[in-house]
Chain A
Amino acid sequence: MNGNARHSQAMHFTARAADKVRNPVLQQALQKAKPLFSGKRAKAMAALPDDGLEFEALREACAGIRDRALNDLDVWLEIFEENACARGAEVLWARDGSEICELVIDVARRHGVQKVTKSKSMLSEEAHLNDALAAAGIEPVETDLGEYIIQLAGEAPSHIIAPAVHKTLQEVETLFAEKHGRPLEARTSADIPALAREARGVLRQHFLSADMGISGANFLIAETGTAALVTNEGNGRMVTTLPRVHVVITGIEKVVPTLQDFATLMRLLPRSATGQTISNYVSLLTGTRADDESEGPTKTVFILVDNGRADVVGSHYQDILRCIRCGACMNHCPVYFSLGGHAYGWVYPGPMGSVLTPLYTGIENALDLPHASTGCRQCSSVCPVRIPLPELMHGLRQEQWRRGLRPWGERLGLRAWAWVAGRPKLYRALTRIAARYLNWLADGAGRIRIFGFAPGWTAARDLPVAAGGKTFFEQYAARKRD
C-alpha cells in the first residue's frame, strides 16, 4: 500500500461528511468564514485595474510561468540545486514522507537539535513529521497561530492557509485556558488580539530556545537558489532566522525559473488567498549566514520532496502541479463550506485536494473525492493559475470507470438506462409508465415525500411532480393528433 494511503481517511468520506454537516459548532465557524474569504478576494480582484492589471491576462501569465517550470522540471531543479549549493545550502531529496522524516531527524541529530520551531508546512503534514520528531525525542513547536492552535488540540489542519478555520473563538478560548493553565474567560471577537498575545508570549520562549527551524517554501527560485516565503505572521522570520539550523521542506513542483517569475506570481497569490495586494511578510531566503552578516542560520538544508509528484508530471493531470496553494478553490467551494477540510480525509481539502489526494494516495483509495463535486466550476473560475479542476476531477472519474472501480449498481444502472435511451420507442413507453407512477406516488400538493428509487433525494427534499401524469412527448403527440 502507498505510504500516503496508510494515513488517509478519504475512503470514509461519506460517513465523515454526514458527521460534519450535523456539527453545529463547525457549521457556525464555516458560515462565518465563507463570506470573509470570498469577499476579500472579490474586492482585491475588483481593484486590479487600479494598478493597471487585468485578472485574465495575469492568470494567463501565471499559468504560463508554472507550465514553463513543470515542462522542464528536472532542469530547473538542477539549476536550483546548483545555485542553492553555491550559496552554502545543502540540498537533499526525499522520495516520500518517511524519507522526509529520516532526513530531518538525521539533520537534527548531526547538529545536536532538541527543540524545533516550525512555520507552516503542508509537506510536514504529508510526512506526519511532528509525530516522527516527537518519537525521536525532538520537541516540535508549531508557531503559525492556526497551526499552534491545532497542535494544542491534537488535530490536523482543515485548510491550507487557515488551518484552524474550523474552530470557533469559544473553542480556542477553552483550549488556551486548559493548555496554558489559566482560568476560562468569556471573550468576544474584539478580544482576539488578546488571545494572539497570549500565544505570542508562549511562542516567544520557544523561538529563543529552538535549535532548528523548519519551514515550507511557497516557491523555489531556480536562478538564485532562493526559498520564497509568503506569510502574515512574524513567525516565519523567527523560524527561519533565529535558530542555528534552518530546514526548508517543499515539493519539487514549487520551483520557478526566475525572480521576475516570482514577482509575477506574487501579483495573484496574496490577492487570491486573503485579498491582500501583498502579504505582511515576503521573505527571500538564500543560503547561509555570510561572514559579514549577524543573523541567519549557519546551516541551511533544502529537502525537496517527490511523494507522488513525479508521477503526475507528464500525465493527464499535470496541470494540478501548477497549484500555488492560495486556497481560493476551497474558499469558493460549496462542498468545502458544507464540510470543512477534515471530511476530505487527507492533507489537502477542497477541489485541489479532491484531485491531489487520489493522485498522491492512490485513485482506488479516494473514490468519493472526484465525485463529491457539483461541477459548479466556482473553483476553476477563481484559480490564479487556471487549473481546470472540474476537468481533472472528471478525468479521475473516467479513470475509475475504466479501471472498474465504480459500484456494480451504478455500472449496471447506467448501462441499462443508456440502452433504453438509445431506443426511442421503448424509452417513450417506459417514461410514460414512469410519469404515471410518479403521479400515483405524489400527494395532493404534487410532491413525493419518500421515493425508494432516490432515497437520498427525498431524505432532504420533496420531489415535485407535474400534475397529470403524462410526459411531454405523450401530450405533444396528443396535441398533434387533435
Chain B
Amino acid sequence: MTEVGRRAPFQILAVVAVLVAFATLWEGYKAMGDATGGTWPGTDRELPVATDDLTLPHVHEILGTMVDPVQRGGDETLAVFLVKSAWFTFKEAAWGFAIGSVFGLGLAIVMLRSSFLDRGLLPWINISQTIPLIALAPIVVTWGRTTFLSDVQAVSLIAAYLTFFPVAVNGLAGLKSPPDESLELMDSYAAPWSATLWKLRFPAARPYLFPAFKLAATLSVVGAIVGEISSGVRGGLGRVILDFAGRYSTGPERLYAAVIASALLGLFVFGLTVIAERIALRGQLLEDVG
C-alpha cells in the first residue's frame, strides 16, 4: 500500500505530462502546417494529415464544445451527455464482460477436464475470433429481435463474444499451471477433482486471469460500441460516434469529443480491473515473499 501510495502522484504527473505534450504537438503541427501552407518546412512535400480546422480542430475547440449545450437552447452540456452515454455503454460492456468471463472460464474448465474437448474446441475458439464483428453483429441483433432479446441485450452478447476468448485461453493456461508435485500432493490427500480445482488450480490461475480480464474489459467496451453502431441502439457512445461522424463537416470537434469519451471509458474499465487485480493478488505477493 505504501509503495502504491508513493507511486500514485508520480503516475498522475506522468500521465498529465504526456497529455500536455500531445496537445502541444497537435497544436504545433497545426501551426507549422498553417505557416508553410501544408508542407514540411523548407520542402514542398505535403504533410500526411491536413492541418485545417476541419481535419484537426483546435484543442480548445474540442474542450470548448464539451461545455456547450448538446442541443441548442437545452440545459445539458455535451460533457454531461457523453458521460451519460458512456454509462449506458459501460452497462452493456459490463454485462458482456460478465457473460463472456463466465462462459470463458466454463470453457476453460471443460477443456481442462477433457483433453478430447481441449483438442476439439481450441481450433474453433481461435476461428471464432477471426469472424469480423461487423458480420456477426447484425446476425445477433436480428436473431435477438426474432426471439426474446432486446437490442441492448444483443449488444451485450456481442461484447461477450469478444470477451470470452482471452479468458478461456489464459484461464486454461492458468488452471494447468500448478506444478506436478502440487497436483500429486492433492492426489495423495485423495482430494476430489473439484477440490483440486477450487483450492489449487483457481488460486494458481489468478496471475494468468487478470491480464486476460484487463484485455477482456477493454474488448468488451469495443464490442459494445461496435454493436451499437451496427444495430443503431440508442443511448450509448457508439450511436453518438455514428451520429457525429455523419455531421463531421459541420462540427468535427464533437466527433473528437466523443472519441475522447470512448477512450476514457476504456481507461476506466481497465482501471477497475487493475484495482481488482491489486486486491486479489496482494496475498499472492505475500506468499511469494514469505
Q: Do A and B come from one complex?
A: no
